A and B are shown apart, each in its own frame.
Chain A
Amino acid sequence: MADKSYDKQNPAYYALLVALVVMAVGPIAMMLMTSLKLNVDIMSDTSSLLFMPTLRNYETALCDFLWYEAPHIDYCDKTFGRALINSLTISLISTVLTLVIGCMAAYALVRFRFMGRDTVSLSTLAMRMVPPAVLLVPVFGIWTFQFQIDGTRAGIILVYVAMNLPFVIWILQSFIVQVPIQLEEAARMDGAGPFQVFFLVVLPLIKPGLAAAAIFTFRVAWNEFLLANALADRNSRTVPVTIVNSITEFDIDWGVIMATGMLLAIPPIIFTFVASRQIITGMTAGAVKG
């Protein structure tokens, strides 16, 4: 925006803003603080903002990645480290696959127009409405008995790609529509085949759309719990699954669990700060454009 003139507001307005920001960010800040506390500090009666921050909880959670001996760890529980690697692999691979497949489909739907936009937006909506809980029973049954890919990372990736495709196709469509067809025609005149046109001309032009789609897909795959819980075995568990497993125990180690929660929250937080504009575009595209 070019105009730099801002309206002056009264102090109550700013007070409201501050209150809202505190409410929105407060719980996250509290989680961060707890994750930096020793259990003695967490349980002590005098809760305060004054405490010695320590990285011990993070060291406990990430013990198998440490390059030094942490003196307070007697026994290294590798569950979380393994889950972190699983989560990263599963989310990254499923994001890349979803984007490639979804992009091609969106392009075909826009440029070769053999299905109306209505069909696509209706099916997107239809898929958006299917709760993961509804997929739970059939996916568990099919993956276990028919495909026999239960307990593998590939199995989890397959569900995530399928779950995310409708939304990705739909959001990318709205970006591809805006690419001037003359550009593609010019490339074709110069002798480019359909795949060259797509990869060399169209893809670079829809980068913002790709960014929005990538963030949404990654976030769904990174945060998803229910299906991962049903499909994963000991070796393919993702971070949300390990977190839930460790809180059902009677005695909760708040410091460590908050550290793992924080580690799970960090990637989405980074995305939010880096690409909030794209996220908001992705979010509003759903409602404002219908």
Chain B
Amino acid sequence: MQSANVNRATPYLFLAPAALVMAVALLYPIGYMIYASFLDWNPSQRIGEAEFVGLRNYINLLGDAAFRESFYVTLKFATVVVSLEMVLGVGLALLLDRNIRGMSVLRTLFILPMMIAPIVVGLMWRYMYHPSVGVFNRTLKSLGLDPIPWLSDGNWAFASVVIADIWQWTPFIFILSLAALQSLPQSAMEAARIDGATGWQQVIYIKLPLMMPVLIVTLLLRLIDAFKVLEVILVLTNGGPGLSTEILSLRISRTASEFRELGEAAAMSNYLLILLVILTFAMFAYNKATEARTARLRKAAEEDV
């Protein structure tokens, strides 16, 4: 009798710690943030003392040119970075998908940039972009060209940040697409070869369509992460010059710590979160749709037999 009770309680015992930690340190803060976004709250006040201002923070933000600018910079950054990385990553995977010695060493080297701390990535790029001792300007100078104001001119600063992100994250897409490529059915490729498809035709009509499900998921994962980038930009430019590289995450942290407007920062976080929720649901819906489609196709195929 007692052991039956223990057995019935077991799953809850196993789950309880995880549920507790996530409830206390993840769900509660998020709920708290949603509540805080309706308050006029500065860091020296307890939350109970803060004044309830309804939607004022949200409306203020919509009218705030600096916020709109940083929203735009975030979207621009995410779009530019993710599209360039997709093209480069998938391209390299198609190019390097050969059976060669040392492929695993190569993959190991390629994941290094993603593993080290974003702070450190920012640090080494900042050094390389340095106006006088950085390697880029030194090379330009030794070639007799004019130095480039990598981090001190708005447009160049944006480009510099994009380059650093591409360096760090293209390998992610490369490795996922390589995994997708190597799990493609060999029979399809062989059939195409026998039918005389050229290399390009194989890529466009066979490989890419078959990789599509993985590519879409990769794209969305990368897109979500691109909205979370903060440390690299913080170290490289701290959002400047002007607002040229101030992405939303950075603006949230500055609004909270420098301008001491916790309510507004929370409202900003909510805008960012809404954007990401839409993306995530798109991804989940896409997953479900493809699963349903493959199930339907399989069923149809079985009925034909």
Contact = CB atoms under 8 A, between A and B. Distances in A.
A283 B116 contact: no
Given A24-B109, A130-B30, A137-B266, A112 B133 contact: no
Interface stretch (A58-66, A77-85, A204-212, A273-281): A273-281
Contact of A43 (B10, B26, B124, B133): B133
Interface in B87-113: 92, 95-96, 98-101, 104, 106-113
A240 B102 CA distance: 34
A15 interface: no
Given A31-B120, A105-B17, A141-B36, A136 B269 contact: yes
A283 B277 contact: no
Contacts of B291: 290
B interface: dominant SS: helix
Interface string B258-294: 0000100110010011001101100110010001000
A21 B33 contact: no
Interface string A222-236: 110110001000000
B47 A141 contact: yes
Interface stretch (B61-69, B152-160, B227-235, B296-304): B227-235
A128 interface: yes
A57 B120 CA distance: 16
A142 B277 CA distance: 24
B81 interface: no
B262 to A, nearest CB: 5
B75 interface: no
Interface stretch (A68-76, A163-171, A178-186): A163-171
B162 interface: no
Given A161-B21, A284-B176, A24 B113 contact: yes
Interface in A131-170: 131-142, 144-145, 158-159, 161-163, 165-166, 169
A133 B269 contact: yes
Contact of B249 (A24, A131, A198): A131
Given A125-B280, A136-B253, A136-B256, A104 B124 contact: no
Nearest to A115: B15
Contacts of B305: none
Contacts of A23: 167
Given A112-B10, A248-B238, 7 more contacts: A16-B96, A21-B106, A142-B29, A142-B32, A223-B118, A265-B120, A284-B176
29 contacts: A21-B106, A24-B171, A30-B127, A42-B133, A105-B18, A105-B19, A125-B283, A135-B29, A140-B43, A141-B41, A144-B43, A162-B25, A165-B26, A193-B6, A194-B10, A225-B117, A225-B119, A226-B231, A230-B256, A247-B123, A247-B126, A261-B120, A262-B120, A264-B119, A265-B120, A269-B116, A272-B111, A279-B115, A286-B221
Interface of A: 5-7, 9, 13, 16-17, 20-21, 23-25, 27-28, 30-31, 34, 42-43, 47, 101-102, 104-105, 107-109, 111-112, 114, 122, 125-142, 144-145, 158-159, 161-163, 165-166, 169, 193-194, 198, 219, 222-223, 225-226, 230, 240, 243-244, 247-248, 254, 257-258, 261-262, 264-265, 268-269, 271-273, 276-277, 279-280, 283-284, 286-288, 290
Of all A-B residue pairs in the complex, the 7 with the closest CB atoms, nearest first, are A162-B25, A105-B18, A108-B14, A223-B117, A138-B29, A133-B249, A112-B11
Interface of B: 6-7, 10-12, 14-15, 17-19, 21-22, 24-26, 28-30, 32-33, 36, 41, 43, 46-47, 92, 95-96, 98-101, 104, 106-113, 115-121, 123-128, 133, 135, 138, 167, 171-172, 175-176, 179-180, 183, 213-214, 217-218, 221, 224, 227-228, 230-231, 234-235, 238, 248-250, 252-253, 256-257, 262, 265-266, 269, 272-273, 276-277, 279-280, 283-284, 287, 291
